[in-house]
Amino acid sequence: MPQNAAAAASAAPDDNREKEPQVKPPPAGTDQEADSPPPQISGTIMFGLCGLFFLLLFPATAWAAGKDITHAALLDALALTASRMVVSLTMALLCAFPLAALAQRKTATGLSLRTALNYVARIPATGFLPIAALTLTSLSQHAIHHPATIITALTLSLLLPLTESLCNGLNAVPPDLKAVARQIGLSSWQRFWRLNVPCSMASLTRSIVQHVPMGWFLLLWAEIISHPESNGGLGPFMLRAVANMNIPMIVFALLGMLLMIVCCEYLLFRPLLFWSSHFQPLKKGAGHELRTPAIFRRFLLIQLLHEWLSPLLLGLANLPFGRRPTARQAEPNTPHSHTLTVHITRLLCLILALALPIWWLATGALNAADCAALLTGALVTLLRCALVLILTTAIWLPVATAIGLNRSFSARFIPAARMLAAFPTSLLFPLAALAIRSQPVPIQISISPMLILNTQWIIAFALIRAAGRFPSNLLTAARAMQVRGWLWWRVVMLPGLASSATKSIGTAFAETCGVAIAAEYLIDGQLPLSAGGIGSLIAAAIRNGNLPHAITGVLVMTAFLITIDRFLWRRLRDWSERRFGRTI
């Protein structure tokens, strides 16, 4: 959830950087098709990957968890947490390709998969923990406390945005290149790997940069909430250090995490962004906004990818799978909307989402009072998030505008702030719990900063970028006409920021609700602190291993988020885009 912000700042300079939650249907055109491997191949690959995933899960979870609070135990915990991230990211990446290839097909399967993915993508990242537990209950009775669950949840939460960005990239393939690829006789398999995948590489790497910080947040929180005694990792280490008030170790743990973030940034993200800028079709120099020191550029990834991986991938991409192109009938100007397929998929999603709670109601695992509590809790949380966001926007608006208009300062500010934004605040929550206990303000109010600590950066970076992009000739004109004060804000700056602001506030709202699951229920080794709201209900249910409660809570929250997005954010976005989004 939160650290969209980190990437929002990394930012290739195009406008669609804000999280665009829709997996868009392929555009209609004269001669376009979803160039992808045949469904059998995609399906087989998908199946094989799932097998591989479970094979990998076991070594990754068999890691013995240390119980001490020593430097060695800290290193061990760091390594364990990092390895969980590596396994999850790798699996998510590998699964995203076949999934995107399937979703991109223009058949009914592709369409219903896209529709379903659009809904699943709305589930807050933290909500994937109980869902992963449900899918793994067959493996273990107490799946929710098993380390495999954490990895599965992380994989799922990364898989969806990566698939989404791949799909969006696949849609942006220039029609002329498609025509060339067909005309020179590349087969469907070759077209997928040599044209479609490279075209979406830039959007995929941006999505990785954007969502890995969110992954850290989820990972550390999941380690703390699920079963810290047996699971190990940096989260439980922090919890132990806080419980024992071992200040040096707390500091070391925070520094360790910071080091990990910085390493990620310099050894992985920046080289990746630099490398993927080669794939930006028809755009020069995109993605170069963050300077990458030459040593990192040459050193790790580029060298590795070019000299070792490239021939291997090229060989794979050139395999003679798939059909050679033939002349195809033109597609209709306006595509058939397949409304029936969409409706059936929606209905199925609804039935699936309702089936579990109804089953639990019937078997007594859930009762009407629980449901009522969840609904009122959801209202409380939504209201809380909305208030906090309004306040944050009001504070950041003048600050971000000032920073954005001062280009030399913002160039120095953004890279530093990126590190701050990428830091998973869930690691700070045990400390926050300590602080909240020691002061008189009621917890319902004092947790508010926790909600916004990460998500504020989404808004901040969006506003800074929008202010930085504001046409300087308009500013000059305003100065020449001596437009000042409130008039300046009303006529000059606010309309200029409106389109970015509405987009980023919408994204930040969904993310903040996800953070609420972690922030409304704080754990520091003593009795958990609960701030009320649906977040605390879900988190408490997860901690107690009460899957029916947790999953119903996540479903309720997702339903609210989808509704609010549909009726508020989307309309607001469309309106501000139409009214203020024009470039001159």
Partner 1 sequence: MIDAEYQDSDELLRLTNIGQSYASGNSSPDSLVLDDINLTLHTGEIVGLIGRSGSGKSSLMRIMGGVLKPTTGQVTLRGKALTGPGSEIGMVFQSFALFPWLSALENVTLPLEARNMPRNQREERARAVTGLLGLSGYDNAWPHELSPGLAQRVGLARALVTQPDVLLMDEPFASLDVLAAENLRTDLVELWSERQLPCHGVLLVTHSIEEAVLMCDRIVVLSSNPGRIEHELHVPFTHPRDRESAEFRQFVDDIYSLMTRRAPIVSEAILPEEHVPATTRGTPPLPPVAVEGMMGLIEALAASPLDGRADLPLLAGKALMELDDLFPLAEALQLLELAELEDGDIILTREGGRFANSGTEERRAILRHALRQGLPLIREICSTLDERPSHTTSAATFREMLQEDMSADYAAQTLQTLVNWARYAGLFDYDEDNDKLFLDDSAL
Summarize as ranges the residues that interact with partner 1 (CB under 8 A): 30-31, 174, 176-177, 179-180, 182-187, 190, 194-195, 198, 201, 278-282, 284, 318, 320, 324-336, 578-579
Q: Between 196 and 426, whose beta carbon lies closer to partner 1?
A: 196
Q: What are the strands, taking DSSP E only, across 73-147?
A: none
Q: Collapse the DSSP code of 526 into the 3-class scheme (helix H, G, I; strand E, B; otherwise coil) and give the result.
A: coil
Q: Collapse the DSSP code of 546 into the 3-class scheme (helix H, G, I; strand E, B; otherwise coil) and give the result.
A: coil
Residue 194 CB, shortest distance to partner 1, in Å, is 8
Run of H or E residues at 131: helix 128-135
Q: Between 484 and 578, whose beta carbon lies closer to partner 1?
A: 578
Instruction: Compute the distance between CA of residue 381 and CA of residue 77 in angstroms, rounded to an integer.
Output: 33
Amino acid identity, residue 394? A
Q: Between 26 and 535, whose beta carbon lies closer to partner 1?
A: 26
Run of H or E residues at 529: strand 529-530
Contact 496, 103 (CB under 8 A): no
Q: Between 142 and 336, whose beta carbon lies closer to partner 1?
A: 336
Amino acid identity, residue 48? G
Contact 448, 459 (CB under 8 A): no
Q: Between 81 and 277, whose beta carbon lies closer to partner 1?
A: 277
Residue 289 CB, shortest distance to partner 1, in Å, is 17
Q: Between 329 and 438, whose beta carbon lies closer to partner 1?
A: 329
Instruction: Compute the distance between CA of residue 77 and CA of residue 257 in angstroms, rounded to an integer.
Output: 11
Contact 507, 573 (CB under 8 A): no
Q: Collapse the DSSP code of 530 into the 3-class scheme (helix H, G, I; strand E, B; otherwise coil) and give the result.
A: strand
Contact 132, 147 (CB under 8 A): no
Residue 177 CB, shortest distance to partner 1, in Å, is 5
The size of the chain, in residues, is 584
Residue 530 CB, shortest distance to partner 1, in Å, is 46
Bridge partners of 339, per DSSP, are none
Residue 197 CB, shortest distance to partner 1, in Å, is 10
Amino acid identity, residue 418? R
Residue 313 CB, shortest distance to partner 1, in Å, is 12
Tokens coding 189: 């398999």
Residue 26 CB, shortest distance to partner 1, in Å, is 15
Q: Between 323 and 394, whose beta carbon lies closer to partner 1?
A: 323
Contact 263, 285 (CB under 8 A): no
Q: Between 137 and 318, whose beta carbon lies closer to partner 1?
A: 318
Residue 579 CB, shortest distance to partner 1, in Å, is 7
Q: Between 128 and 189, whose beta carbon lies closer to partner 1?
A: 189
Residue 332 CB, shortest distance to partner 1, in Å, is 4
Torsion of CA 305, 308, 314, 315, to 10 degrees: -160
Contact 213, 222 (CB under 8 A): no
Residue 492 CB, shortest distance to partner 1, in Å, is 21
Q: Between 278 and 407, whose beta carbon lies closer to partner 1?
A: 278
Q: Collapse the DSSP code of 518 into the 3-class scheme (helix H, G, I; strand E, B; otherwise coil) and give the result.
A: helix
Q: Between 13 and 528, whose beta carbon lies closer to partner 1?
A: 13
CB atoms within 10 A of CB 481: 11
Give the CA distances from residue 522 to residues 131, 144, 235, 503, 542, in Å, rounded to whole numbers and listed in that order.
Answer: 21, 18, 13, 30, 13
Residue 471 CB, shortest distance to partner 1, in Å, is 21
Residue whose entry in the numeric block shows the structure tokens 């290193």: 75
Instruction: Compute the distance between CA of residue 199 and CA of residue 197 in angstroms, rounded to an integer.
Output: 5
